[in-house]
Each structure stands twice: as C-alpha cells, then as structure tokens.
Chain A
C-alpha cells in the first residue's frame, strides 16, 4: 500500500528544474538561440530550424520550446544539454505560442494562413484550426486554459477563443497592429501592445471591455516613433516594463496605477523584455542593433549591451 503510493508519487513527479539561470535569446536571421550564463557570458550558440522567434520553457524548465517561422516547426531544446532534441510540426509560419496549464496542448499563431492552431503536444495532432484575422501574432492562455487570446495584426482586434470549442467567442477591437500580451498576476487584466498606434490597451477580463489606454513619449521622440511590442511585469505585479520599439527606450511603469516611473535608453528597436527571477535585471532584445541591453532595475540605468545573433526576437531566462 505504502509502496504503491510511492510509485505513484514518483511517476507523477516531473523532472527536476535545473535552475541553470541561463539566458536564452532567439535570433530570427541567424537561425540560432544564443545562451548566456547567469553572469552574461556567452556560453553556447544552438542552431535551430529557420527563423526562431517566440520561446517558452515548460513548467519544470527542463525544455525550451522555440517557434521557427520559416520551417513551420516548434523546436524543443534540452535546457541541460543545450541541444535540439525534438521538433513539433505546425502550420505555416508559427510566430507566438502558449501552453495549456497541463502542457498537453500548444496554442500557436500561424502568421501566413491566419489560423490559431491547437496542437496536442504528445500526439502532435492538430485538434483545432481556429480561423483568425490576418497575421495573428500574440497568443496567451488563461490560467485555467479555458480561454486563449490571440491578436490579429491586420484586423486590429483580439480574438477571445474558447479552447474547448475551438471557436472565437468574442472580439475586442483595439489600436493599430496589436502584437503581444501579458496577464497581470491577479489575472484580472490583460495588457495588449498596439505597435502602430503607440498604445498599451488594458482589458478587463471579466467584461472584455477596454479599461484603460496607456501612451508613452520618451523625451525627444514623437508619438509615431513609439512602437510598443514587448512587456514584462514583476511577479507581484507592482512594476511593468514596456519596450517602445523605434523610440529605443523601455518605459517603466507602476503595475497598479500605471503611472510612469521612468524611461530607460536601450538599443535600436527595443523588442522583447524579460526579468531575471530576483527581478534585479531586465533583459531587452534590440531587433535592429543585434544586441541585448541589461537594465539594473534598482537604479533604472542600463548596465551594458551585449552582442547576440542577427535580429534578436525573444529573451527567456531559466531561473
């Protein structure tokens, strides 16, 4: 009896997180993922399928999934060995993806054929192809997995998708060229960046209504230079970091009141933002200067910029 219990426990225990503290950067044009040690030494370059973009770690942080837009696959990298160990086929041009809470399903936007695919991770079977507006990009799943939100960059809207039915149940019209999402830790708010109308939309998840629209203007820039894409929130939701694209700055805001705290100068076309686990450093990928910028979150000053591959897309940190 006791023995049987132990067996069941072992079987249910996932592989252990390695806590490598490594920083991963996907590079669209050099078709690789650069790996940095926790002290930002470049330790490996992993060749992937062509045009790696969005990346996510599985829950126990042993595997890194990488959507590769030009080979229509999601590559899987072993975080310990730093090798591509598997690939999951997707529809044309996968860009951004999310997992269901139990990681049994992958939700992926296919930029070229305007679909959000729901793929069963084990069998690799596509269980739903949900039609979206043209050029779907940002994908995020609700904490219970019942709802997935997808942006359409061309239709300027967010599709609210019921994952069980595999169907769009609501549309939220936002600004021009909506790109990425984050959910606040209390899960009440969905934030969406609208790149070409220079706005962050804050959506009330209970009603799917737009609660607030944030705009930013670093000194010396014009509104049209501000092209927000990437966002990150601290674990307690108290502070937000928003990349401002061509305005070459990160906006740091209060996560609750949404008031601006500061602007931090980074590289050209600041794109993805990620925080280390202790939230002492924000790592920003700069798409047009092929580097990442490290920001000290205590002083809000850039520490240094480090070269990476060509056209860095996403930063993921294992810690």
Chain B
C-alpha cells in the first residue's frame, strides 16, 4: 500500500500585507485584419463578434476576493492600435508604465514583432489569439501562449478520427496563410496516427467556370478514392458553410464546419462551464456568447492573477516561476488542471469537439494516453519540439 500523505503546515502564512498594484495591459489592433468584414462578400459572421476585453475584466472580477485577500490591486489598461507599425511603440510605453503582463490579442506576425522588440527583459507576454505553430517555435522566452496551437486543435480532431475509425480523409483548404497553416498541422497530426489523406485540394471562392475543379463542390469532392470524412481548413468560413450535404460522397465534413475543434463553446454543460458562460453573458450585456478568443483572454488573466495570489513569495521571479510550474493547477472550467508546458510555453488544455449546438467529445478522448500527462497527447510533444 503506497500512502501518499503530504504535510504542509500553514502554506500561506507569512505573506506581506502591504497593498500592491499589479498592472496588466491588453493590446490589440483596431481594425484587426483577421476579422475584416470586407473579406467575405456575404454578411456572415466572419468576425469573432466582439472585443475580448470583457473577458479580461471578468477574470479580474472572478478572482477579486482572492486578490483582495492578498492586498493586490489589479489595474487593467487596454490599448487598441490602428496601425500594426505602431504596436511596438505602444507595447514599449505600456512596459515603461510598469505593466507586468501584456495580454496580446494580435495576429501571429504582430505578436512575434512585439516579443522580439521587448526582448528578454520586458514584461511577460501572453499570446491569446494567435494559434500558429511557428510562433511557438520562435521560442520567445517572455511569451506564454493560452491560445491552443494549430497542432493541438488538429490532434484533437485526429483523436476523434481514430476513435471513429475514419481512416481515409479528403483534405480541402483555402488560399490564405491561416488555411495553409491549419492544413499543414492537420497533415502532421494525421501522419502521427497513420491516417491516409487521399487527396489535398485547394478550393476557390469564385464562380469562375475556368476554376470549376476548385469551386464546384461536386468536382472538388469527387473523382478520388473513397474517403471516410472531409476535413476543410477555411478561416473565413465562407466556402465551408456550403459544403456539408453537397459532397460527391455522402460523408461527414469537419474542421471549419460541422464538427469544429475549439478551446471553448457555449454548449459545454459540465465543469462549471455554464456558470462561466452566464457570467460572461451578464457582463457583456448583449446577446454575444463567449468565444474561444474570450476564453483565451479570460484564462490568461486568471493564470497571472492566480500566480500573483498563490505564490508564497512576493518576488516577481518567484511569482513567474510559480506561473510556469505544474503547481499552478489552473481551473479553466474544462474539468482538467491546466499548466504551461516548459518546452514551448503553451498552456496545456482540453479541446472541445463542437457542432453548432453540442459538444460531441472533449479531447484528450478516452483511451489516448501519454507517458506523463494525458493533455500532452494534444500538440507537439517535448521530444518532437525544436525551436526554429
């Protein structure tokens, strides 16, 4: 019988009680090119429909009793910059004003530029909305990632493929960098589990008859060996929304429509998620639901405030060491203890497999194991990871 009984006496005793301010900044672009309404010609919801600032404020409010008990005052300043070229200056000025943490709501190239400019002595940066794998491989020492990486998202879906024995996949993607990145991550993830991608095809949004092989759904999904499912990478969602039920073979469509892997979805009914959603909906006051970007920002602020409040030592290095350690045991209302992976500074987290109104599965799915932490079955694992 192995008894595990750990004695910790008065863990929280002896913490200084002087009032201390923790400055957090949120930096984004306005307008953000990722959500440009002009990109899609139909008036569909290509944008995330709202600013995640409300999620940052909700995290501060959620933890206010805890931070109050530690005599911490939390100050959030939000800066939206019109020109990407002004971002570095803006981030520098926030750092000069004493921001200890900067939440980045930025596309990957801009997040990368800010991290490179602020360097190893700057404030801690938290990437909340850029899922690109290459940004992890840049290995900025001062950047943590709460947005799930493209590879984590792909691995979550691949686990479902394996479980359902969907072994032959038709891969479709658009022309944008985001679509190519998602397609590449999916291909890598599929290779790890020896799924067969029967063909990789690029779709075209036009109705140009000369491009009918790419814009006609029947042609795009036909004339190929049989497949069990269609995976589509389509960040604008314009092509993919017309894809289900029209494929040449009657097969499920996943990825950007149908079954979509996401960090967060309003229909999650367990782990306290309904309460998080209802607090968000109360806070925002309109009918907007909490998106994955909101969750990413919420969990980033929760992570830093949890570390600030729970670290036994007020020294900033000790707080950061706690934030990066397994002891963080962050609760993201997804039923698992969350912490940052030391090799790529990525928040390990479950990924939801969502349809429009239901959660079909929560990855890691049952049966997918890992030698140290099951959550690390999602994303690039330590032995495979290398900085660029």
Contacts and interface: CB of A to CB of B under 8 A. Distances in A.
Interface of A: 93, 111-112, 132-135, 152-157, 159, 171, 173, 175-177, 196-198, 209-217, 219, 222, 224, 258-260, 262
8 contacts: A93-B275, A134-B61, A134-B62, A154-B331, A155-B64, A196-B329, A210-B12, A212-B8
B357 interface: no
A197 B329 contact: yes
Given A111-B275, A153-B272, A196-B336, 9 more contacts: A93-B275, A155-B64, A156-B310, A159-B65, A173-B12, A196-B337, A198-B337, A213-B6, A215-B6
Interface of B: 1-13, 61-66, 69-70, 272, 275, 278-279, 306, 309-310, 329-331, 336-337, 373-375
Contacts of A198: 337
A172 to B, nearest CB: 8
B3 A260 contact: yes
Contact of A196 (B4, B62, B275, B331): B331
Contact of B69 (A157, A222, A260): A157
A262 B2 CA distance: 9
A241 to B, nearest CB: 16
Given A196-B337, A210-B8, A135 B272 contact: yes
Given A111-B275, A157-B69, A259 B3 contact: yes
A260 B4 contact: yes
A135 B3 contact: no
B11 A219 contact: no
A259 B70 CA distance: 32
A259 B5 contact: yes
Contacts of A153: 272, 331
Nearest to A175: B329
B275 A176 contact: no
A157 B66 contact: yes
B367 to A, nearest CB: 14
Contacts, number: 96
Interface centre among B13, B64, B278, B329 (most CB of A within 10 A): B329
A262 B65 CA distance: 37
A130 B12 CA distance: 25
B57 to A, nearest CB: 13
B266 to A, nearest CB: 15
B337 A157 contact: no
Contacts of A216: 4
B341 to A, nearest CB: 14
B1 A260 contact: yes
Contacts of B331: 153-154, 156, 176-177, 196
A259 B3 CA distance: 7
Contacts of A262: 1
A258 B4 contact: no
Interface centre among A133, A154, A209 (most CB of B within 10 A): A154
Contacts of A155: 62-66
Contact of A224 (B275, B279, B336): B336
Contacts of B10: 209-211
B65 A258 contact: no
Nearest to A153: B272
A259 B1 CA distance: 11
Interface centre among B12, B272, B374 (most CB of A within 10 A): B272
A201 to B, nearest CB: 9
A175 B3 CA distance: 20
Interface centre among B6, B61, B70, B275 (most CB of A within 10 A): B275
Nearest to B13: A209
A132 B9 CA distance: 26
Contacts of A154: 62-63, 272, 331
Nearest to B373: A224
Given A111-B275, A196-B337, A260 B5 contact: yes
A154 B333 CA distance: 9
Nearest to A156: B66
B330 to A, nearest CB: 7
Contacts of B337: 176, 196-198, 224
Contact of B278 (A112, A157, A212, A260): A112
